[in-house]
Amino acid sequence: QKEVEQNSGPLSVPEGAIASLNCTYSDRGSQSFFWYRQYSGKSPELIMSIYSNGDKEDGRFTAQLNKASQYVSLLIRDSQPSDSATYLCAVSNFNKFYFGSGTKLNVKP
């Protein structure tokens, strides 16, 4: 079983729609949860971090965490073509850091 599971996609959404990205993890001791965006040929860029159950909003992005279900999600409102990228879910337990394989998002104009 992989430490972090993500649907590889691609997830295609029209411009202006809400994109919903999901992630499950296996380590119940995980304490920190992150979403990274990676454009093709570039390095991952941190866009959201969340540490407690519930929702955390930052601009058009909302991260949701449910530790009981071992589930993390990222919602992107008013999706733009510039949001087209691979989104990596990362989970941390102190110095142990695990990344998912990423979900490729395509936002169509």
Query: What is the smallest separation between the CB atom of 105 and other proteins, expressed in angstroms?
Result: 16
Distance CA(98)–CA(91), nearest Å, equals 5
Query: What is the smallest separation between the CB atom of 99 and other proteins, expressed in angstroms?
Result: 4
Give the DSSP H or E segment for 93: strand 85-93
- Given the rule CB under 8 A, which of 15-23, 61-69, 75-83, 100-108 is the region that contacts other proteins? 100-108
DSSP state of 9: -
Strand 103-108 versus strand 11-14 pairing type: parallel
Residues that bind other proteins (CB under 8 A): 2, 4, 31-32, 34, 42-46, 49, 51, 88, 90, 92-102
